[in-house]
Amino acid sequence: MQTQNGGSPRARRVRRKVGDKNDSALTRDEQMMIQQAIENSKLDTSTTTDQVGEISAGPIFHPTVEEFADPLAYIAKIRAEAEKYGICKIVPPEGWNPPCMVDMNSTKRFETKRQIVNRLQEGITFEDGARYDPHTYQVYASEQTKKWQQEHYPEGGMTLGALEKDYWGIVETGRTNFTAEYGNDIDCTSYWSGFPTSKRGRSMNGQDLKLERDKPEPKFGTPEYYEESWWNLNNISNTPGSVLRHIRVPINGVNVPWLYMGTLFSTFCWHNEDNYLYSINYHHKGAPKQWYGVPGTKKDADGLEKVFKNFLMQRMREAPDLLHHITTMFSPILLSKANIPVCKLAQFPGGEREWLTL
């Protein structure tokens, strides 16, 4: 936990003369912290940051309209290939263009978490940030990006690849102070969903409506289609064949989606998915998002956890379940150097509006 009250412990420590009889050996914790710092310092940060751009891409799939009709069947079809990477991208058929249902004029405010990006390697708890409504958050996010561009790319050239290197430079060196306020885990039942609500009772938000099983499926691309499509993340847990459809109470992040509002360098840190279920993420609007993934095999999952523990030895002693806190980020190059397969994918909004499945 981050401590921010008055002077540092070092400033309060009583200095002793060298050779003072009261000198004592370093504590075990201090020894371990020094050893960890030495080991971590052996990493060539500049090389690591540059190498991030060389990470191989994960797979991208383009279903036909017919294949697109049944999400679970399609995911089962691509599973053998996709599971080699841990993540994949699904690009919907041409003509897919659902409305984004978030009310950008709403005055309802949501909470954020303040992420100190230059300290993400420390695994510190995120403190509460400011509260925003959708419009004021959009203004904040735009100002963050504009400021970074003016300071670092006044002549242009602020590409996704350049920003990826910038991000890891901040995370790994800690020399540039950067804070992002991240609107994560916004409750769709209390706020908004990016997707429209089903009128046939297919989403948990509409569970009190009668399920009209006898009606034909709406035509692809029509307004009704976006309400009733099983790819609508309000509906996907109730897809025929899904075990989650038997859960008749709403559980956020399981059968009710979360909504996320992010800004430049806001981070969804390394983690396993809840209950080791599939995760699916849809990008409604904004700038591209960069993802990294590792296969879910026991060997690779154990390997990631080993790297995690070695890199954060002392922090893991304090919080053995740190990986589940979703507050720690380190370079995927560390995984590559440990012979753990890792890939990356950029997820785009707008006309492409892609899903990212983990």
Across the strands, what pairs with 197? Answer: none
Please name the amino acid found at residue 205: N
Domain count for the chain, please give it.
Answer: 1
Evaluate whether residue 20 is within a structural domain.
no
pTM of the model: 0.84
How confident is the model over 69-121, as pLDDT tens digits? 999 999 999 999 999 999 999 999 999 999 999 999 999 999 999 999 999 99
- Looking up tokens 């006044």 gives 154
Strand partners, 289: 347
Name which of 133, 137, 96 is nearest 282 in CA terms: 96
289 and 350 Cβ atoms separated by less than 8 Å: no
- 351 against 147, higher pLDDT: 147
Assess if residue 203 is contained within a domain.
Answer: no
With respect to residue 213, please indicate whether it lies within any of the assigned structural domains. Answer: no
Q: Are the beta carbons of 333 and 43 closer than 8 angstroms? A: no
On the question of pLDDT at 11 being above 60, the answer is no
pLDDT band at 23 (very low <50, low <70, confident <90, very high): very low
- 306 assigned to some structural domain: yes
What is the 8-class DSSP label of residue 328? -
> Residue 31 has what pLDDT?
61
Q: Is residue 293 part of a domain?
A: yes
Rounded CA separation 67/77 (Å):
10
Query: Is 224 domain-assigned?
Result: no
Q: What is the distance between the alpha carbons of residues 10 and 15, in angstroms, rounded to a whole number?
A: 10
Question: How far, in Å, are 232, 319, 339 from residue 255 at the CA level?
Answer: 12, 29, 35
Find the CATH number of the domain harbouring 76: 2.60.120.650
Q: How far from 247 is each of 179, 228, 233, CA to CA, in Å?
A: 38, 19, 16
212 within domain boundaries: no
Structural domain that includes position 284: 40-195+257-357
Tell me if 108 is assigned to some domain: yes
pLDDT score of 18 more than 80: no
The answer to whether the CB of 272 falls within 8 A of the CB of 358 is no
Average pLDDT score, the chain: 86
Taking residues 313-335, report their average pLDDT: 90
